[in-house]
A and B are shown apart, each in its own frame.
Chain A
């Protein structure tokens, strides 16, 4: 029988047929679907995130790994009731208005999903109203915004102001080539340098809000 821990290596290698074959074997062997996800697919993807952060893996290899992981997810997800799907929190994400660059944002989406977040992806050219509506509809914890241009990054502040005006209890995670920690702080957001950093920061943000709820309950 296939070992769940080895499944992670197929993900790391971006071996989609290997992942499909072995997830099917595990399912046939009555392995717990949530364990397949957590200890096989997601743990493999976490290693990918670390290797991307440390410069051992690059965009092509990360995309291949994500593709392989998603193929495994497609098999396992129908076996799990919606409420049982592990979720660290909900993130609404998009490349902001006027900006069409989405390679980085797509990587962040994959990494966040791999880490166990529910991600609502607004795609490119995302406008204030879309962010506000998606946060309300999904009771999101975090808004993630990406920009590749110095001119479009200023739109992030408009999104933040609109959410504050609506009284939404949400935190802001931003990234993209022209962003910096200093600028992000100025607009009231937290900066993530890369996709792995986005996951670490998102976990921290969600953890912080859980702590707040506990403290002020």
Chain B
């Protein structure tokens, strides 16, 4: 079961597979056609999107919401909303005097968007929480301090260290409050997401932030949950001091060499997660790029204490088929290794006779998949398309080609198929990665009869 796999990995037990945890934040909305803003503000749309993530991406663990601005918004920062990104902080209420917010401002469970988040957490827990490890993400204390103070915070670190300690101490208390709410709503793991850590010297972290971070991770442990420390950017010099904050896991992005970082995390017996490149591979790469990245990574790294994840929050419009290829490579590594070999070995000249699509006697529906026996998205695509057979019987012909044998790979190449799974009708691309509804399928196929 995926959930046990994640929990055991974060407890440093020996497991047979490497867990897969996609950070589908705003990207979850993309799967259902909702904007970033909709999934970050509308509980029903967020819930729908998360159910789709669970269905198509079959994660072992997944976050509920990836928005580092929830706490800042409650503390008075104005946000600039986008339709394809999380919001950005526009104003910093503590940018003026050296002032620390009153403890009365620590967010309550009824403030801002917290009630919506807690409601979705409880619903997701009830629906899939037995099988999937659920992550509650809180904004880390250093990033939160910079949200409310502005970029002046960086110079404060040098000029006013005592003030910075006090401000980050307040923000750590915010983390503790948020962690408590999320754990009570059923989260198995609390991830403290602090991207700015990569911009601060290990020496400053040691002297100013080590204790507040330790307090945050201690609280999470005391409440029976597991903890992760997420960082973005090149935090290579900071990994060691991050380990000393005592989280159960650390998650890194592609700016860090995971093989070298793991040598350090292993010394501290901390689980490391990462680090599929967000843009070059997930967003702009193709399925082969994603498969190769994962197979190479799994071939070159010790699997104990390892979680595979994107480097950070997935870009909104990551092609679904790229994530599907990633999952296939994690869960069916040997098959995918064969697929890559076959793909590279297959010569364009392997004789493949494509049908004469102009003279077909009945509509021909061709489904190109990675392998519908093992890939969830492919399974759903095949099941969805087979409804046409139920509806139209032998008035249509349906064929599936799998990426597991050379002949089908050659056909896939000859057809110019770019994404798997895809469905073609009479030689023309009809659905790429998106599985049509029954109504849409019947309408489209009906028009071809």
- Give me the interface of A with B, judged by CB distance under 8 Å: 14, 55, 57-61, 63-64, 67, 98-103, 106, 149-152, 177-180, 182-183
Contacts and interface: CB of A to CB of B under 8 A. Distances in A.
Given A58-B199, A60-B157, A151 B316 contact: yes
B293 to A, nearest CB: 14
B183 interface: no
A134 B288 CA distance: 43
Given A55-B237, A149-B85, A151-B82, A61 B151 contact: no
A162 to B, nearest CB: 22
A64 B158 contact: yes
Interface of B: 80, 82, 84-85, 88-90, 151, 154-155, 157-159, 199-201, 204, 232-233, 236-237, 278-280, 283-284, 315-317
Contacts of A177: 232-233
Contacts of A55: 236-237
B34 to A, nearest CB: 15
A198 to B, nearest CB: 15
A9 to B, nearest CB: 16
22 contacts: A14-B158, A55-B236, A59-B154, A59-B199, A60-B154, A60-B157, A61-B158, A61-B201, A64-B158, A67-B155, A98-B82, A100-B80, A101-B88, A103-B151, A149-B85, A150-B278, A151-B82, A151-B316, A177-B232, A177-B233, A178-B278, A182-B280
Nearest to B83: A151
A178 B282 CA distance: 12
Given A14-B158, A103-B154, 19 more contacts: A55-B236, A55-B237, A58-B201, A60-B155, A61-B158, A63-B155, A98-B82, A100-B80, A100-B88, A101-B88, A103-B199, A149-B82, A150-B85, A150-B283, A177-B233, A178-B279, A178-B315, A182-B280, A183-B280
A150 B158 contact: no
Contacts of A149: 82, 85
A101 B146 CA distance: 12
A178 B279 CA distance: 6
Nearest to A149: B85
